[in-house]
Structure 1
């Protein structure tokens, strides 16, 4: 078998069963935040980098997997819990990672249910895993593969003008980013050096003042 890269990302549906006479329920975003707060108890992870283009919270696990909140801007509080496997080199490793994902999510779900009464909720959370729901909406497991698809010489010639145009257009952008970075570094240096310069000038002024007083007294 040739070496390939395999991966599976799974969208877990968040299902809340309200308790008897319960009128309010936690949003899916609040439920995800509970899951994320408990994640570090079981695996080592780091928060994903902040991006202005993507405000969805999430964390990266030490094995390369990801755990994050998936939602649309319109229904941001009613999203899904999504977990992606690390990049695997064979189907057997991928299957092990997929089962480990399910087990981790189930464990977190049990712990979150134990916290719900402390928050004033009497319901119960369940996690669903499927590809199509009762209304025909598709979600669930999505396979990712790395394949070799080299461009032909003809396609490369067609893309060459586009690549050169993008490269030329990117020069002003990089220049602007460089100026912003230099301005930021300069501002930080000024803010750091001003107190130091003020302290040095104050010390020098005290030394000169004492020397002047001594000369005036004839020492």
Structure 2
């Protein structure tokens, strides 16, 4: 089989989202993030004796460091499926916030919970939106990272979330003036490829946790991406990355455009919406950020002609054509400076259009607190209150999927990956009250006698041991009620 034929067009993927959280009571007093987080997770702790659980749709829900609710999607193997499960996290977090407000009301507190899907809080702390891609063990991660780095550094041009940058005394290194950035995350990474996650955030994390058969697979953990609100932005972020990964695996001839200084480059690109930032390459030549993205796009456009159609599941060529269409339109918009063809699809463009409108109408400057509020409110996931949901409901932001598909993903695991098996176990355990211990690979019923199964194949949707585990719980259902 040739390299082109063996390139993965069906790939396990996942997205981890950390939510910013705050709460005010009727007197405009802010509750501390840890206070409201405890209220949000109280029903989960009462039921499971833990704030770190897997839920029946196969995903992981937990309280992360810094009092951030975090949701990690179940394993998905196609682009739209992943968007459905990523957006399902917003629905689940909103339901938790509604329950928290009801609990506060019972305690006499007229509290409003705010949940933000962004990457930077008001004092400059950053929290992540991490992407995970299953790749073959045969390719060394360092070599893969080297090939991917120029794409990831310039990718913010096509799918950044946008942000008004305000200088912060706590910022490390250089200080930039107030200005609009196309990426929220670009100022908060400090290395290219590293095993660190918080102390010195890299663009690619090398920690070897494949959550699968380690002889066959490894996990590419990308932590440089912004948390996106618009579904087309998520599709372009993930879809373009999938195409680049496929071309690298297929040895499709993607040129080496390794940059001289990754971190300086990512900061500079974020502050240049024209894409004209000149980047020095290690071979002694230069390219602009837009030229690198255009190069990647041109190769991806040729790759789609050779790309195998997935046989069972996976992202179809037709869906990849949608990704390429948006990618191409975005690059033309950057080149021309006319963003009207993408200003309902790309987060940083949508937000900048809003901010520019307020500046023109009110004679405001970027330092104005009203604009900071617009910037933040765009990322509020609460329906009808967050600016994004209002715009989307008015048809001012385009969709990639549907509410029906997202709502289905809230309660049901993907039926094309290992998550289907985990979902079956968790749904049975929930129904019967059976005590289980679950992670990405290991699934254990704790009593009457411990029974466990390990699922090393992330593509498996049938497993006789899982059937036996479910039968075991069903047989002992009476013991769980005692």
TM-score (norm 2): 0.25
- What is aligned with 2:69? 81
User: Deviation per CA, 1:156-206, whole angstroms, max 9, x where unpaired?
Assistant: xxxxxxxxxxxxxxxxxxxxxxxxxxxxxxxxxxxxxxxxxxxxxxxxxxx
Could you tell me how far apart the structure 1 residues matched to 2:9 and 2:41 are?
37
- What is aligned with 1:28? 33
Tell me the CA shift for residue 39 of structure 1. Answer: 5.4
- What is aligned with 1:146? 134
Map 1:1-219 onto structure 2 (within 5 A). 2-20=9-27, 22=29, 25=31, 27-38=32-43, 57-71=51-65, 78-150=66-138
Could you tell me how far apart the structure 2 residues matched to 1:132 and 1:117 are?
29
Could you tell me how far apart the structure 1 residues matched to 2:49 and 2:11 are?
28
Structure 2, unaligned stretches of length 5 or more?
A: 1-7, 141-482
Give aligned pairs, total: 132
Task: Check the 8 A contact 1:109/1:125 in 2, yes or no.
Answer: yes
User: Deviation per CA, 1:33-68, whole angstroms, max 9, x where unpaired?
Assistant: 33234459xxxx9666xxxxxxxx311112321111
- 3-state SS, counterpart of residue 74 of structure 2: coil
Could you tell me how far apart the structure 1 residues matched to 2:49 and 2:138 are?
35
Could you tell me how far apart the structure 2 residues matched to 1:135 and 1:126 are?
17
Tell me the CA shift for residue 121 of structure 1. Answer: 2.3
Could you tell me how far apart the structure 1 residues matched to 2:93 and 2:67 are?
16
Could you tell me how far apart the structure 1 residues matched to 2:60 and 2:21 are?
18
- 3-state SS, counterpart of residue 67 of structure 1: strand
Task: Check the 8 A contact 2:21/2:33 in 1, yes or no.
Answer: yes
Could you tell me how far apart the structure 2 residues matched to 1:143 and 1:68 are?
17
Relative contact order, higher structure (CA 8 A, sep 6+)? 1
Residues 132 and 32 of structure 1, relative CA distance in 2, 3 Å threshold: closer
Residues 151 and 101 of structure 1, relative CA distance in 2, 3 Å threshold: closer
Residues 148 and 8 of structure 1, relative CA distance in 2, 3 Å threshold: same
Could you tell me how far apart the structure 2 residues matched to 1:8 and 1:21 are?
34
- 3-state SS, counterpart of residue 105 of structure 1: helix
Residues 4 and 36 of structure 1, relative CA distance in 2, 3 Å threshold: same
Could you tell me how far apart the structure 2 residues matched to 1:2 and 1:151 are?
16
Residues 46 and 147 of structure 1, relative CA distance in 2, 3 Å threshold: farther
Could you tell me how far apart the structure 2 residues matched to 1:47 and 1:148 are?
37
Structure showing the higher helix proportion among its residues: 1
Task: Check the 8 A contact 1:13/1:81 in 2, yes or no.
Answer: yes
- 3-state SS, counterpart of residue 147 of structure 1: strand
- 3-state SS, counterpart of residue 17 of structure 2: strand
Residues 63 and 117 of structure 1, relative CA distance in 2, 3 Å threshold: closer
Structure 1, unaligned stretches of length 5 or more?
A: 49-56, 72-77, 153-219
Tell me the CA shift for residue 111 of structure 1. Answer: 2.0
Instruction: Decide which moves more: 142-151 or 80-89.
Output: 142-151
Residues 81 and 139 of structure 1, relative CA distance in 2, 3 Å threshold: same
